[in-house]
Structure 1
Amino acid sequence: MPGTTSVWRHRGFRRLYAGSTISSFGSEISELAVPLLAIGVLHATSAEVGLLRAVQFAPFLLLTLHAGILVDRVRRRPLMITADFGRFVAIGAIPLLIWLGAEHIWPMLILVFIAGTLTVVHQIADTAYLPSLLDRDSLMSANSKIGAAQSAAQLGGQGIGGLLVSWLTAPFAVLVDAFSYLISGLLVAGIPHREEPPEVPADRRLGPEIREGLAFVLRSRIMRALVGEAATFNFAHEIFLVGFFVWTARDLDLSAFVIGILLSLGAVGAFVGASFGERLSLRYGFGRTMLATIIVGNAVALVVIFARGGGAGTIALLATAFLVQGFGTALANVHNVTLRQTAVPTRLQGRVNASYRLISWGVIPLGAGLGGVLAGTYGNRTGMIIGAVGLALSALWIVFSPIPRMSTAPQQEDLQEPAVPR
């Protein structure tokens, strides 16, 4: 029976796991260091912080569908390696520009856009590659372990990121992120797995291929629920985060270390949630576990309504929100990824995941831009509250879907593939 032991015995999975963990660790450092660099070194306004986040995720809106077609046409592992090395160069250039005396945010916008483009390619290729590396019965266990590792990296990354920003400055912290991508690329390059080239359709026009992936997502009740919840969550979360970063750093004058600790508490919850995802699902049922964790994890951000000054009570409320949200989000994500990997035909993995990313991540720059406007117009705390309300409402997509009635993750043969145009 596939399980923990069989997954760990797979050398290729161990390397993929290590690369994912290290790059996630670096990314979480930059998640804190980049906006703090813009705020503290370049003196960015709330609107500029929102713009920075928007540009970082704009590739998910503009380039995801094309990346999905690329993933379905070529081997996935070389794409992941190239993307990692490219992100090493793009992110590594940010601190170099600062040390050379850059005073404006515009060069950073260009570099984070390039890094975001490569992240689009890497994430779609990564999700599509894992089912070819492992058998389907091992995917839940593998996704749980990767999710737990990423959460542990988030725990250490944001806490250490806060220390690096406080002790060695934000540019140095961003440089650490750059080297994490280099190490990840080298690890993935060493995976001893002969990946078969995908079947390339005779009709290689972009239009029909794009429509096929989008149609599957939009016509499947399960995929519509997953992508609807994810898009609403990500849109609201960006509004929340823009307000959070500026409110805590500027209005409350909290140190980078304290902000990093708050974000790390979310990773504590995420680590626990991802670690116990498979166990809870087997005990309480796949769908009910996913529904319960999404409702709790998404709604807890509403405690920011009671956060006002910068005292211990406010910090405790924020800590609670991140801790519980991390638990629910990580556990739900394990179920989300497993469901997409088992319910989507292999030939459509790249395009369906690209369509999913287009919708769910494409709204992130829109949410970041709106978050900057709301924070600048109505105040940073008000922007956080608006984002928290949106997070709570996102769970309704799952509530009114077939997912809560699922006892286990379905296999493709258990589902009727939606008719899609050729």
Structure 2
Amino acid sequence: MGEDATTLRRVAGFRSYWSAATVSSFGSAVSAVAVPVLVVTVLHATPFEVGLVNAAQFLPYTIFGLVVGAYVDRFRRKPLLIWSSVGRGLSLAVIPVSWAFGLLDLWVTAGALFVFGVLSVIGFAATQSLLPRIVPRPLLLAANARIDQSDAAAQTVGPALGGALVSLVTAPLAIALDAASYFVDAVLVARVRVDERVPMRRARPRLRRDVADGLRWTYGHAMLAPLAFSTHLWFLANAAGSTVFAALALRTLALPAVVYGAVLAVSGVAMLLGTTAAPRLGSRFGAGRTIIAARGAYPVAWAAIAVATIVLGQSMPTASTIVLFAAFAVQGVAAGCENANEMSLRQTVTPDELLGRMNSTMRSANRSLAAVGAIGGGALMTIAGGGMALIVVTVVFVAAAVVAARSPLRTAQLRQHGE
């Protein structure tokens, strides 16, 4: 990766883009701790209500995802990314402002997160489609790995920082920090040097045909289709698991916010290791095989989480905490190894004029299933208990791994720099 990293530093615009992504990742990592603590301990939500609030962030992908993808391919992506970042900062700021005036409740929180989700649909479609316009395609794996390294560093420091901030200044003020990060993100993106051509606009754009083209490309491609289905299952399981784990950890196990943040931070440390190894693994074993191996690690991690929270639980708190740290470390390594390879594979096989639609199609389905998972995880925990909910989560992770393993992904390779 050394030669690619040196070349990447010479790419105009990448440093500002990378800095923006890093700032945003640190803010989001703080909110990853602050939002569950706010909902569970400040607003005293039930597990089902926790699922509803989590789902509020994902529902916009179901409602607007496919349409947004079609429009992203019609406009310059940099301005879309700037204004979506400003909007996300404002929507998150509603939470601490409402809290300060004594107006914060579950519905205000869910509404703010829903608006945040709407703007995230635009922002993520734009950012994932803008990178290939900044970085030459042979350098995409190195670029995505660099961004993932920053994200992993944020997930290492952010949750611990979030836990400390929640303890010192309360959850709403910790969320205010994430809001501020999006304003900084917008300023940094504005500094990105990229020569974006203005997409040709038809006299009478056909939205339905544009959406259909994105769906056809994503689910008709020999490698993108199984990758998409496997990733959809992953999001379903991960959202359900996150909802159940937050309720179990903060309420049943009564973990302090600092400890809860530290458990998530371990995943960030492990993810940093995984992202560092991702380009080398993708080059040596192939992007597809690296993704498949990572998908196989998730059910192992979640089976361990089930043991830690249900079997060991409060009777053996020290052993339970140790197992949780180990399980989230496994999950972090897997995420770090696969994400850069998956994103680079998607960006490499997709033509530029379809990138917005492909990314929005994938993300729309991913987040739709995440909404189902968040609500379903909370409902299943309420009806059948945390143990059964975590068993179901583990089974869905197994299904995601099987779909990837029994597909042409086994032979997927990325074209490397210099080839």
TM-score by length of 2: 0.95
Structure 1 residue 377 corresponds to structure 2 residue 378? no
Specify the alignment match of 1:392 in structure 2.
398
Distance 1:243 1:294 in 2: 20
Specify the alignment match of 2:360 in structure 1.
354
Distance 2:393 2:167 in 1: 28
Distance 1:153 1:319 in 2: 17
Structure 1 residue 26 corresponds to structure 2 residue 17? no
Does the 8 Å CA contact 1:302/1:392 hold for their aligned counterparts?
Answer: no
Aligned-residue offset at 1:287 = 2.7
Specify the alignment match of 2:98 in structure 1.
97
Q: 1:332 aligns with which of 338, 346, 368?
A: 338
Does the 8 Å CA contact 1:2/1:137 hold for their aligned counterparts?
Answer: no
Does the 8 Å CA contact 2:239/2:374 hold for their aligned counterparts?
Answer: yes
Specify the alignment match of 1:417 in structure 2.
none
Structure 1 residue 157 corresponds to structure 2 residue 178? no
Tell me the amino acid that sits aligned with residue 391 of structure 1.
Answer: F
User: Which residues in structure 2 correspond to 1:153-302 (within 5 Å)?
Assistant: 153-302=154-303
Does the 8 Å CA contact 1:239/1:386 hold for their aligned counterparts?
Answer: no
**Over aligned residues, Cα RMSD in angstroms?**
1.6
Q: Which runs of 5+ in 2 are unaligned?
A: none
Distance 1:269 1:5 in 2: 25
Distance 1:216 1:299 in 2: 33
Which piece of structure 1 moves more, 190-199 or 229-238?
190-199
Which piece of structure 1 moves more, 301-310 or 335-344?
301-310
Specify the alignment match of 1:76 in structure 2.
77
Provide the aligned length of Structure 1 versus Structure 2.
Answer: 410
Aligned-residue offset at 1:343 = 0.2
Tell me the amino acid that sits aligned with residue 400 of structure 1.
Answer: R
Deviations 1:53-72 (Å, cap 9, x if unpaired)?
A: 11111111111111101210
Distance 2:288 2:104 in 1: 50
Specify the alignment match of 1:415 in structure 2.
none
Q: Which runs of 5+ in 1 are unaligned?
A: 412-422
Specify the alignment match of 1:414 in structure 2.
none
Aligned-residue offset at 1:382 = 3.1
Structure 1 residue 409 corresponds to structure 2 residue 405? no
User: Which residues in structure 2 correspond to 1:20-59 (within 5 Å)?
Assistant: 20-59=21-60
Deviations 1:324-343 (Å, cap 9, x if unpaired)?
A: 11111221111110011010
Distance 2:216 2:187 in 1: 36
Tell me the amino acid that sits aligned with residue 347 of structure 1.
Answer: E
Does the 8 Å CA contact 1:32/1:162 hold for their aligned counterparts?
Answer: yes
Deviations 1:15-60 (Å, cap 9, x if unpaired)?
A: 1101001101111111221121011111111111100011111111
Does the 8 Å CA contact 2:47/2:382 hold for their aligned counterparts?
Answer: yes
Structure 1 residue 304 corresponds to structure 2 residue 297? no
Distance 1:120 1:152 in 2: 24
Deviations 1:205-243 (Å, cap 9, x if unpaired)?
A: 211111110011111121111111111011011111111
Deviations 1:306-353 (Å, cap 9, x if unpaired)?
A: 223131111111111111111112211111100110101111111111
SS of the residue 1:191 aligns to: coil
Deviations 1:367-421 (Å, cap 9, x if unpaired)?
A: 1110110111122343233212212221112101111123x2269xxxxxxxxxx
SS of the residue 1:276 aligns to: helix
Does the 8 Å CA contact 2:295/2:397 hold for their aligned counterparts?
Answer: no
Does the 8 Å CA contact 1:298/1:394 hold for their aligned counterparts?
Answer: no
CA distance 1:160–1:147, change in 2 (3 Å): same
Does the 8 Å CA contact 1:299/1:391 hold for their aligned counterparts?
Answer: no
Tell me the amino acid that sits aligned with residue 97 of structure 2.
Answer: L
Does the 8 Å CA contact 1:304/1:318 hold for their aligned counterparts?
Answer: yes
Structure 1 residue 364 corresponds to structure 2 residue 370? yes
SS of the residue 1:277 aligns to: helix
Deviations 1:116-166 (Å, cap 9, x if unpaired)?
A: 111111111111111111111110100110111111111111111111111
Does the 8 Å CA contact 2:291/2:341 hold for their aligned counterparts?
Answer: yes
SS of the residue 1:181 aligns to: helix
Deviations 1:267-299 (Å, cap 9, x if unpaired)?
A: 111111111111122223333222222212443
TM-score by length of 1: 0.94
SS of the residue 1:73 aligns to: coil
SS of the residue 1:124 aligns to: helix
SS of the residue 1:194 aligns to: coil
Indicate the percent of aligned positions where both proteins have the same amino acid.
33
Does the 8 Å CA contact 1:298/1:325 hold for their aligned counterparts?
Answer: no
SS of the residue 1:63 aligns to: helix
SS of the residue 1:231 aligns to: helix
CA distance 1:410–1:355, change in 2 (3 Å): farther
